[in-house]
Amino acid sequence: MGGVFFQTKAFIAGICSAKKAARAPAKQAIAHRAALLILLACSCSLATANTPDPEPQIIINTKVTLPAGFSNSALRSIFFGRMQTWPDGTPITVFVLPDTHPLHLRFCTLYLKTFPYVLKRQWNHLTFTGSGVRPIEVGTTYNLYERVRATPGAIGYINRLPGNTSDVKFVGSESTSGTERTIRF
Amino acid sequence: MNKSRYRLALLLAGCLSGSGFAEQQPLTLHGFVSQGYLYSKNNDIFGESTEGSWEYHEAGAGGHYRLSSRLSFSGQWFARDAGRGDNGSVRTDYLYADLLLSQGTSSGTGLRFGRVRNHFGFFNSTRDVFFTRPSILLPQFYLESFGVRELFFSSDGAQLHSYWDEKDYHLNFTGTFGKNKEISSDTVANILGSSATLAGDAELQSPISVQLSAGLPGDRWKTALSYYNATLTFNSASVLANLDVTLTALSLQYNGRKTSVTAEYALSSISSTFVAPAFNLVASGNTKSESAYIQLDYHVDDQFTVYGRFDHRLGDREQPNRTDSSVATLGSRWQPHPQWLFAAELHGIRGTAPIPRIDNRDREIAERSEHFIFMAGYRF
């Protein structure tokens, strides 16, 4: 809303400055600079208004044999600490971004249908009753990607590349972006 | 002695600091320490709080070891000082082996053996960890002021646990079957009054704890039904006593983006029989009490939460006007870092039940009192 108002205001200001520039050639340079500033302000405003929410993509280490019927409910079992080993017996290692990271919030709401504070409460419960181990927190998506690639049984999430519609990408120590397999739920 | 143990726990916490965020290994360690300050009017709570008390601290450390894909071990050791009610001695909080019996993509079942936590309501299983409580002090629902925590905090026995995750809901079941255990003379005195002469041979028999919980995806709504039953027997030269205790609770929680609402209700029923052979006397009775609370949490941002709670209890349903008590709580919680937590609370109390008798032995408990409590905690 604020962005639309700002754009309109900037547009009117742009017309006014253009008229003034036509009437007073001596002030042309100043007007030109003003127009540039207005254009920049408009583009910033548009960029802010159109910035999409980060889209998460689940990544799983290639050594995991994903069970048949893997879906959102299984994903919730994993991230809420109820399912702790893959069907082949490999312990599941969960990597997450900090609570304040926009991608973590988006992942929680989109895939887990929850909020970071609810998840944190659940992890505390697991830890202090001895019934599980809380996820490992890493600071950046790059580090998270590298940790999942290097850890057998690992699962996490990264930013989805534009045009990629798959839910899960399998990443491994020997995989490259060209060889990484992806699937949908 | 107690202080030295506390320092030892602090040292242990310091030494192990940071290991919780290490790469997941078969062995993971965790710990916590928290220190409170209390100031109250009219009644003491956790030390001489009417003059300001620091006698409220908790420290614990433990670990989880995965031996194989089906077998893991967990343990936690804990020390708590809370006025005269808890003296800071180190005790085993839980220590058990967890055997995974079956697991699929949407369900799993396991069996634990050893000392396990009883699941009752949303918070009993982690009631001594500042980071997991909904507030610094728990509501009356959790019977904190009655000095009976050892009765239903944990059990030595077997625990069956199971989960089902479906597209639109999830279910959890926990059933605990404990073996008989001796009860401390302090707990007997807390149950029967400090002048009780029955101490010496008291036992908790066949404790059973069952909880079935359900939730919508992501715990947007969740609910739990909890049940606990045990028999307490007291034997002395002159009196035999038998108390059959049953607790039933219903819990409900809503978790929104900014707001959480938690409400719990508990009904406790105690059937008692006292026999004094020397006097040819037999007495029996049945007492039912109820407690309920509702708490609203507002998450201002990722670090800061404010909350308010109203908490009510009827000590005896037959005499509601003489035995009721209520507590109004206003508080705030600030977690500037995942490992640090600070909270402050104000309590307005009407009634004597929320006040620990053991901290007010030398005085008459006042009907009304107010508390201010501050607590700082660190975890790893």
- The percentage of residues in chain B with a pLDDT greater than 90, rounded to a whole number, is 58
CB B95, CB B115: distance < 8 Å: yes
Are the Cβ atoms of B106 and A77 closer than 8 angstroms? yes
Q: Does A180 touch chain B (CB under 8 A)?
A: no
- Asked whether residue B20 carries a pLDDT value surpassing 80, the answer given is no
Query: Tell me, what DSSP letter sits at residue B170?
Result: E
CB B348, CB B336: distance < 8 Å: no
B92 Cα to chain A: minimum distance (Å): 12
Which residues of chain B have a CB within 8 Å of the CB of A127? 20, 30, 64
Ordered per-residue pLDDT tens for chain A, 185 residues: 333 333 334 333 433 344 444 444 555 555 555 554 444 444 444 444 455 678 888 888 887 777 777 888 889 999 999 999 888 888 899 999 998 899 999 999 999 999 999 999 999 999 999 999 899 999 999 999 899 989 988 999 998 877 776 777 777 766 666 666 666 65
Which residues of chain A have a CB within 8 Å of the CB of B338? 98-99, 120, 137
Interface subset of A 14-53, CB within 8 angstroms of B: none
- Asked whether residue B218 carries a pLDDT value surpassing 80, the answer given is yes
Are the Cβ atoms of B100 and A93 closer than 8 angstroms? no
Are the Cβ atoms of B104 and A67 closer than 8 angstroms? yes
Q: HSE (CB half, 13 Å, CA atoms) of B85?
A: 27
State the pLDDT confidence band at B9, using cuts at 50, 70 and 90: very low
State the pLDDT confidence band at B22, using cuts at 50, 70 and 90: very low
Helices (DSSP H) in chain B: which residue ranges? Answer: 2-16, 149-152, 185-192, 320-323
Are the Cβ atoms of A76 and B62 closer than 8 angstroms? no
State the amino acid at position A88 in one-letter form.
D
Query: Both ends of chain A: CA-CA distance in Å?
Result: 36
Q: Does B378 touch chain A (CB under 8 A)?
A: no
Compute the distance between CA of residue B198 and CA of residue B67 in angstroms, rounded to an integer: 45
Interface A-B: count of C-beta contacts within 8 A: 135
pLDDT score for B282: 86
Count of positions (residues) in chain A? 185
State the pLDDT confidence band at B266, using cuts at 50, 70 and 90: very high
State the pLDDT confidence band at B8, using cuts at 50, 70 and 90: very low
Per the model's pLDDT, the better-predicted residue between A121 and B145 turns out to be A121
Q: Does A71 touch chain B (CB under 8 A)?
A: yes
Helix (H) or strand (E) holding A143: helix A141-150
Which residues of chain B have a CB within 8 Å of the CB of A82? 108, 163, 165, 170, 172
B103 Cα to chain A: minimum distance (Å): 7
Q: Which residues pair with B87 in a beta bridge?
A: B81
Mean pLDDT for chain B?
A: 87
Nearest neighbour of B24 by CB, restricted to A73, A74, A93: A93
b/e per residue, B43-74, with b = 16+ CB within 10 A?
Answer: bbbbbebbeebebbbbbbbbbbbbeebeebbb
What residues contact B246, with CB distance under 8 A and at least 6 apart? B227, B228, B229, B268, B269, B270
State the pLDDT confidence band at B361, using cuts at 50, 70 and 90: confident
Which residues of chain B have a CB within 8 Å of the CB of A108? 218
By mean pLDDT, which of A34-48, A65-79, B273-287, B319-333 is the weakest? A34-48
pLDDT score for B199: 54
pLDDT digits (tens, 9 = 90+) for B73-106: 999 999 998 887 778 889 999 999 999 999 887 8
Q: Does B317 touch chain A (CB under 8 A)?
A: no
Compute the distance between CA of residue A98 and CA of residue A104 in angstroms, rounded to an integer: 7
Compute the distance between CA of residue B40 and CA of residue B52 in angstroms, rounded to an integer: 7
Using CA atoms, how far residue B121 sits from A6, B222, B226, B279, in Å, is: 52, 12, 6, 42
Distance of CA A76 to the CA centre of its chain: 18
Sheet with A136-137: strands ordered across: A136-137, A93-96, A154-159, A56-61, A168-171, A182-183
pLDDT digits (tens, 9 = 90+) for B238-258: 778 888 999 999 999 999 999
Per the model's pLDDT, the better-predicted residue between B105 and B329 turns out to be B329
What residues contact A166, with CB distance under 8 A and at least 6 apart? A57, A182, A183, A184
- Asked whether residue B2 carries a pLDDT value surpassing 80, the answer given is no
Helix (H) or strand (E) holding A17: helix A2-23
Using CA atoms, how far residue B234 sits from B55, B163, B186, in Å, is: 31, 38, 13
Q: Does B321 touch chain A (CB under 8 A)?
A: no
Nearest neighbour of A129 by CB, restricted to B100, B126, B170: B126
- Asked whether residue B121 carries a pLDDT value surpassing 80, the answer given is yes
CA A116-B214-B261 angle, 5° bins: 55
Nearest neighbour of B69 by CB, restricted to A67, A80, A91: A91
pLDDT score for A176: 65
What residues contact A104, with CB distance under 8 A and at least 6 apart? A96, A97, A98, A116
pLDDT score for A14: 39
Per-residue tokens: B173: 């079941």
Per-residue tokens: B219: 């715990």
pLDDT score for B12: 42
Q: Does A133 touch chain B (CB under 8 A)?
A: yes
Burial level of A3, CB count in 10 A (0-12/13-18/19+)?
middle
pLDDT score for A160: 82
pLDDT score for B192: 67
Around Cβ B244, how many Cβ atoms within 10 Å?
Answer: 16
pLDDT score for B4: 45
Are the Cβ atoms of A74 and B106 closer than 8 angstroms? yes
Are the Cβ atoms of A77 and B125 closer than 8 angstroms? no
pLDDT score for B105: 79
pLDDT score for B196: 54
Q: Which residue of A has its CA nearest to B253?
A: A118
What residues contact B199, with CB distance under 8 A and at least 6 apart? B185, B188, B189, B236
Average pLDDT over residues B191-217: 80
pTM: 0.81
Which residues of chain B have a CB within 8 Å of the CB of A68? 105
pLDDT digits (tens, 9 = 90+) for B51-67: 999 999 999 999 999 99
CATH classification (class only), B2-379:
mainly beta
State the pLDDT confidence band at B200, using cuts at 50, 70 and 90: low
Query: Both ends of chain B: CA-CA distance in Å?
Result: 25
